[in-house]
A and B are shown apart, each in its own frame.
Chain A
Amino acid sequence: MHADERERGPSGDPDRLTGGPRDGFARTLTAASWVLWLASLAAIWAFVAGVGAVDVAGLLHIDGLTVTMWAVVAFFTGIVHTYSLRYMAGNEGRGRFFVGVSAFAATVGLLVAADHVAVFAAAWLGMGLIMAELIGHARSWPQAREAARLARRSFLASSLLVAAGLGALAWAAGSTTLTGILAGVDALPRWARLAAGAALALGAVVQSALAPFQGWLMSSMTAPTPASALMHAGFVNAGGLLLARTAPVFAAEPFLLGSLAVLGTASALLGKVWKSVQPDLKRRLGSSTVAQMGFMVLQAGLGLFAAAITHLVLHGFYKAYRFLAAGTGIARESPGADAEVSPLGVAGSTVALGTGLASAVLFAVLTGKGLHLDGGLVLAGLVALTGVHAARQVARRANLRDSWRYGALPLIGLPAVALYAGAYRLVRGLMADVPASSSPVELTFLHGALAAAFLTTYIALETGVHRRSRRLYAWLLNAGQPRPETVLTSREEYDDH
């Protein structure tokens, strides 16, 4: 029976083409992002090859941090654009979305190059407004509009704080450029440093959704997934950028650094614990971001601003991946399915402790953090703990061959540490001319307390002692809840246009 002999059924429509986006506008913007990324790589090369920092008419100052962030932001923009070509196909506001992503990239690019305080503040505000637009992308959906409104309010507050802080500094220093201000930080009166530093720190913390300002982030899931990816990879880390840019102000005031370290640690631990009770995937990712941004701020609080920048870049890769892969992992599972584990034993313990020590030593040697009694030691300690934990997990598995049980983790883990060290050194090198980018603080009792907080939480979670408290569970679950007006209880209100 040949095809031409066959009768056509009732609904044949051979002209219909399905699949494959044909949107020229979106493709142009996508191509532009990748071109910009290549240009940013060229900028890095030029910078390293000896061109050095470039000043533009007292408005811009393009240094190592700038070119690094240009490359990172352009990369994320390119990825989000390419992903959205297919993912956002058929979405009515698609053109608007692509423009929003490009505009976001442009604003962040301006922010990291800004020298004049007004330019910086304007870019900070612009970035926030654009992100709020992306959160409220589905304009006909009331809950999305509410989420955007909430985000906008938070970002306005943060912009006011940043503007106030920069304004105070500019006034006190008698200079309107960051380079000018930061050059004379030591000469500034203490009150100016403390007041401005506090305002800037608060602005940073709001934008990075640290506790207790996580509300806008937990209510932002009305954003299309790629916008969330961009948000968690390229927006929330603005706080870290701000701190790195104004590092000398903080470096001059140990009190400010200490406060940052405390705020950071609190969010780092809280975010993780909030995550453990949420069943909702994007909320889990949001809690994780709160925690990771807390860690970034902690690193800043330890005076390790280059490490904070490295962290925000690597975290960006991680979180963007997790968001863009949000649809994976639905599979039938059994309640309480546990792998066969055997007790650790002598061999296992040795391997675990050994791996921990080796990782920490490698980390310290390659990155320089932990070689002295300074802030870096806290980080090295965490690396040690991680190594121990990971090796312990693997060594306990009963049904693995011995050589794998004991050898696999060190074999994979140590190179991973080296890879991180490579990234860190790259960033630190590029940031070499950024004032105070690596000024680790002296260890004090406070740092001991923070380290103890990490250790205690680790042990508590491992032993499960917290599970006895229902009150704690309820509080944790509620802390990660979105604002009521952003929750869709009546399905017919949903409108994706």
Chain B
Amino acid sequence: MTTEQDLRDIVEGAAESIPRAWPLHSFVTANPLAGFEHEPFPEAVRQAEELFGGRGYPEASVFDRALREGRIDDQVLSEELAAHGFDAEPAALLERADSRDRAGTDHEHPAAERVDRLMAKWLSAFLDEGRANWSMPDREDGFYHAFRKIAPHDGQIPDNGDLAIPEHPTEALAQALAPYPEDEWRRILEHHLAALPGWTQLIKRRQNADDPWQEAAPIDLFAYAAARLALADHLDAPIEPPTRSAPSEARAPVEEAFLAAWERTYREDLVESVQARARAADEGDERPTTQLAFCIDTRSEVLRRHLEDVGDHETHGYAGFFGVPIEYEAFSEERSHGACPPILTPEHPVEERPTDDDVADRYEETTSLLDTALSMVTSLKKNPATAFPFVEHTGAGYGAALSARTLVPGRVRDLLDRLADRVPSPASFCEPSLEGLDLDAQIEYAANAFHLMGIDTFAPVFVFVGHASETANNPFDASLDCGACAGNPGGPNARLLARICNREPVREALAEVGIEIPEDTVFLAAEHTTTTDEVAIFPSPERDRHAAIVDELAADLAEAGQRTAAERWGADDPAKAADEARRRAADWSQTRPEWGLAGNAAFVIARREVPAGLDLDGRAFLHSYDWRADDEGNALEAILTGPWVVTEWINMHYYFASVDNATWGSGSKVTQTPVGNVVTVQGNGGDAATGLPKESLVDVDGRLQHQPLRLSTVVEAPVDRVRAVLAEHDHLEDLVANGWLSLTVVDPTRDHEAVAFQGDRPPTEAEPEAAQIRARADEHT
């Protein structure tokens, strides 16, 4: 007799191939094939295509274009094709590849489609977060029971009067699965869970989350599977999936060879540049005027480059949550959120607390007036008697707003900014609370920051720079905020760490572990708005101690920001480019306000001087790491197990969403509709459209702004140290061995020789990549 626990285990096993998807307000770019990372990449793609449909490699036209633009070196391509066992001409191979039939999902049985539609309808009603005034009845009893109680009244279910859904989900599952052998159950459940992948991904994220909505309306995959199978049973929809199609092929598809060639062309260039810079980098002994720690985000690279051009500023890269895993509650918000990567648990509750009560009162009064206005308007709109006069009496106002926002969005933004200036901003009268972190924790996080970045000399002014985006009318704006803070602005974390580092007790303790912070060094925090490339330094009493330096920094940041905007938008005049950037941020009709992390292709973990000399075109994540200060390898381990995993998630999400936007992304924004404050759907509804929209990846001329390349990681560290870390962490070794990303180590103890860890071969000492390829080619001939 199968128990509930047995069934739950089977469901959990079946759900392994389903990744998690986050709601729009906390958008996290995660790998849609996270469930397949234990397989080599080509095999994982094949399995995912079979389960979910779609394609996992770019189309032939994408490779074609890359070839024409010179992004794939011909020599490298022929080497890779040979190494993978293909001997025809590239053009012919591409043609053949395109016409090859994909595994794909078969056309659904009409009853199965009906089950999908009904489930999609009830899931969107159940998972709604506050949009419907009258939410689904019985949500607090959990999805299975809520569905069970409402289904008999659902006129869209045929014979709903005869519906007999068992009282307990275990019974429902057992009943539906009874006709099939138990060793098939996992496959059956996997098929059913993958039928509406968008919704399943959202449920999977939610089921274990510490989320007030989950408390109010619990749901898990077990309940969903039970409800779905009970319904399928009632409608006589097929329970068993169609038989598996083609078995695994002996060799990877030709696209893998093309992709590998493309990546290698990029990577060899990158590694060469890194090697050259690493050998030549001159560190200088002078104390810099300012130091700034930016997030590893690719958008920081461009600004950092321009900032170092403009003035004597030393920039570093560090994870955007600054190493502090907090649960943050802003002064103006009604609930807290986790401000750290989703792979970590937020450990410390931090609140934004006012230091000046009078100002706080003024702020509260204004906000409560606005709140009242809003809730009055909402109330009038939803009521059947008052909604009509409401529309008539406010119609003219809406007409004016319509004209203003469409025709002069820049002016509207300026007006709103001026109005907002009259209200004090919380950052000016609040500071983050420290009760949630004891002194030991504070010391630990401060020490980690400087240790990981390898900083031992401190400038008079040190700024932690978080980042956020600013866009209008954009359901995906959280996807442009800091991914390391789980789709939230990075400002709060920066402010917290700055506050910690300014404290006497912390500095004393740091001195004891060898981190000597001079008396005159002050720590500040700032936030980089990536859409406009403006950086705002948060107000702080410490600022006055070096007012001149900070003022100059602010001026330099403004200049650097303009140049960054000019580079981004391909304009000659920085001031005009900055204006255009501001307009895009404010324009409600702009579907491409900024490119976010599109184009990401590399992760460089090295001393700050190494990438400081390079123009990486905004395509590289950068983490500062000084191998000489990390004999134990702890800092390297922290970087590889933390930020590296996050960058892999980001890179893989962008890869799949640009390769097949319909299956792994959410399609074009133009026909989307937001549902329940949680997710968008395409058109009239159905499966949840999780993932980035087309407009985040494809430019107006149809060109892929994001080149679908797997991440090329370059680490400046001794090879043995890297090998040791990989040996300790199987998951990381799997990622490299299975080809999900590539790892090249530039070993400073051996004259910065490049060692490649990649593919299915174990890492070999000091063997250049070309030799490895030749070796593989020899195997095949």
Contacts and interface: CB of A to CB of B under 8 A. Distances in A.
B687 interface: yes
B114 interface: yes
B376 interface: yes
Contact of B396 (A268, A420, A466, A495): A420
Contacts of B620: 9
A18 B699 contact: yes
A358 B196 CA distance: 54
Nearest to A382: B389
Contact of B385 (A281, A382, A495): A382
A494 B405 CA distance: 31
B683 A473 contact: no
A386 to B, nearest CB: 4
Contacts of B53: 490-492
B705 interface: yes
B392 A310 contact: yes
Given A9-B270, A467-B137, A90 B383 contact: no
Contacts of B52: 491-492
Interface string A68-94: 000000000001001111111111100
Interface stretch (B7-15, B176-184, B610-618, B768-776): B610-618
A24 interface: no
A113 interface: no
A345 interface: no
Given A2-B309, A221-B671, A386-B385, A484 B683 contact: no
B423 interface: no
Interface residues of A, number: 139
A82 B407 contact: yes
A371 B96 CA distance: 79
A317 B475 contact: no
A381 to B, nearest CB: 9
Given A83-B589, A473-B134, A487-B117, A454 B384 contact: yes
B534 interface: no
A321 B682 contact: no
A9 B684 contact: no
B615 A473 contact: no
B243 interface: no
A11 B617 contact: yes
B386 A317 contact: no
Given A276-B382, A399-B368, A284 B54 contact: no
Contacts of B125: 277, 279, 477
Nearest to B615: A9
Interface in B669-725: 669-671, 673-677, 681-687, 689, 694-695, 698-702, 705, 707
A33 interface: no
A79 B394 contact: no
B156 A334 contact: no
A390 B374 CA distance: 11
B117 A489 contact: yes
Interface stretch (B33-41, B319-327, B330-338): B330-338
Interface string B574-588: 000000100010011
Interface string A271-290: 01101111111111000100
B134 A276 contact: yes
A473 B137 contact: yes
A224 B667 CA distance: 12
Interface in B629-679: 660, 662-663, 667-671, 673-677
Interface stretch (A41-49, A57-65, A322-330): A322-330
Interface string B594-638: 010001010000000000111111011000000000000000000
Interface stretch (A114-122, A161-169, A247-255, A335-343): A335-343
A344 interface: no
A317 B402 contact: yes
A10 B477 contact: no
B100 interface: no
Contact of A331 (B116, B396, B677): B677
A284 B695 contact: no
B445 interface: no
B543 to A, nearest CB: 27
A284 B128 CA distance: 13
A393 B155 CA distance: 37
Interface stretch (B146-154, B433-441, B491-499): B146-154
Interface stretch (A171-179, A196-204, A431-439, A456-464): A456-464
A475 to B, nearest CB: 7
B544 interface: no
B399 A83 contact: no
A325 B406 CA distance: 11
A11 B266 contact: yes
B570 A492 contact: no
A347 interface: no
B385 to A, nearest CB: 4
B589 A458 contact: no
Contacts of A313: 395
A100 interface: no
Nearest to B581: A19
B124 interface: yes
B158 interface: no
Contacts of B573: none
Contact of B391 (A3, A284, A292): A292
A409 B113 CA distance: 51
A9 B105 contact: no
Interface string B215-231: 11100000000000000
Contacts of A40: none
Interface in A459-497: 461-462, 466-467, 470-471, 473-478, 481-482, 484, 486-496
Contacts of A397: 368, 372
A214 interface: no
Contacts of A336: 216
B402 to A, nearest CB: 5
A91 to B, nearest CB: 6
Contacts of A475: 153, 155
B478 interface: yes
B464 to A, nearest CB: 23
Interface string B331-369: 001110100000000000000000000000000110011
A318 interface: yes
A320 interface: yes
Given A18-B595, A21-B700, A383-B389, A1 B105 contact: no
Nearest to B616: A9
Given A84-B589, A389-B380, A477-B121, A277 B387 contact: no
B512 interface: no
Nearest to A415: B393
A10 B269 contact: yes
A457 B219 CA distance: 33
B371 interface: yes
B134 A496 contact: no
A382 B371 contact: no
Contacts of A364: none
B671 A223 contact: yes
B427 interface: no
Contact of B613 (A7, A383, A473, A484): A7
A42 B286 CA distance: 72
A21 B701 CA distance: 9
A420 B613 contact: no
Contacts of B568: 18
Contacts of B402: 79, 317, 320-321, 324
B711 to A, nearest CB: 14
Contacts of A321: 398-399, 401-402
A330 B680 CA distance: 10
12 contacts: A9-B620, A19-B580, A89-B592, A141-B683, A222-B683, A288-B387, A317-B396, A321-B399, A330-B478, A487-B120, A488-B687, A491-B198
Given A10-B617, A488-B681, 4 more contacts: A268-B388, A275-B133, A292-B387, A330-B478
For the complex of A and B, list the 6 residue pairs with the smallest distance between their C-beta atoms, beginning with the closest: A314-B395, A10-B269, A317-B399, A279-B128, A272-B384, A279-B676
